[in-house]
A = this chain, B = another copy of it.
Amino acid sequence: MTVLTETLKALAEPTRLHMVELLKERPYSVNECAKLLDIGQPQASKHLKILNDAGLVVAKTAAQKRIYSLIPEAFCQLDEWVKSFTVLWDNRLARLDGHLTERKDKR
Contacts and interface: CB of A to CB of B under 8 A. Distances in A.
State how many copies of this chain the complex holds: 2
Interface of A is mostly: helix
A6 to B, nearest CB: 9
B72 A76 contact: no
Interface stretch (A57-65, A85-93, A96-104): A85-93
Contacts of A12: 5, 8-9, 11-12
A4 interface: yes
Contact of A82 (B2, B13, B79): B79
Contact of A4 (B4, B17, B83): B17
B5 A14 contact: yes
Interface of A: 1-2, 4-5, 8-9, 11-14, 17, 20, 24, 70, 72, 75-76, 78-79, 82-86, 88-89
Given A75-B82, A79-B86, 6 more contacts: A8-B17, A12-B12, A24-B84, A72-B89, A76-B86, A79-B82
